């Protein structure tokens, strides 16, 4: 009886250790392949900020160009100007994290 219980305990412990080792390896593999690392997230955030800044600058240039026009704006130009202002506001909201 004693040999049986010792063998059973060894089998249970062996299974538990193997399961923990495999589980730990699987969790590590999942984290490495599926989840973004902190550095990757920071780099992506910096790139997104850069792109938003460049887009905002381009919109401001276009708005200034339309507003500097010596002649009165056509309805199409006024509509374009209004759309640019909305786009600029949306970009600013994205930057503030509200969108």
Q: pTM for the complete prediction?
A: 0.59
Per residue in 6-36, pLDDT (tens digit) is 666 666 666 766 765 666 666 667 666 766 6
Average pLDDT over residues 82-98: 88
Which sequence spans correspond to the domains of the chain?
1-35, 36-99
Burial of 59 (0-12, 13-18, 19+ CB in 10 A): buried
The model's confidence at residue 70, banded by pLDDT at 50, 70 and 90, is: confident
CA–CA gap between residue 45 and residue 32 (Å, rounded): 20
Q: Is the pLDDT confidence value at 94 over 90?
A: no
């Amino acid at each position: 009886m004693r040999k049986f219980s010792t063998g059973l305990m060894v089998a249970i412990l062996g299974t538990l250790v193997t399961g923990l080792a495999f589980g730990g390896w699987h969790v590590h593999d999942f984290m490495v392949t599926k989840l973004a690392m902190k550095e990757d997230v920071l780099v992506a955030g910096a790139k997104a900020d850069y792109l938003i800044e460049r887009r905002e600058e381009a919109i401001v240039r276009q708005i200034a160009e339309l507003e500097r026009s010596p002649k009165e704006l056509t309805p199409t130009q006024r509509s374009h100007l209004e759309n640019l202002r909305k786009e600029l506001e949306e970009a600013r909201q994205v930057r503030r994290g509200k969108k």
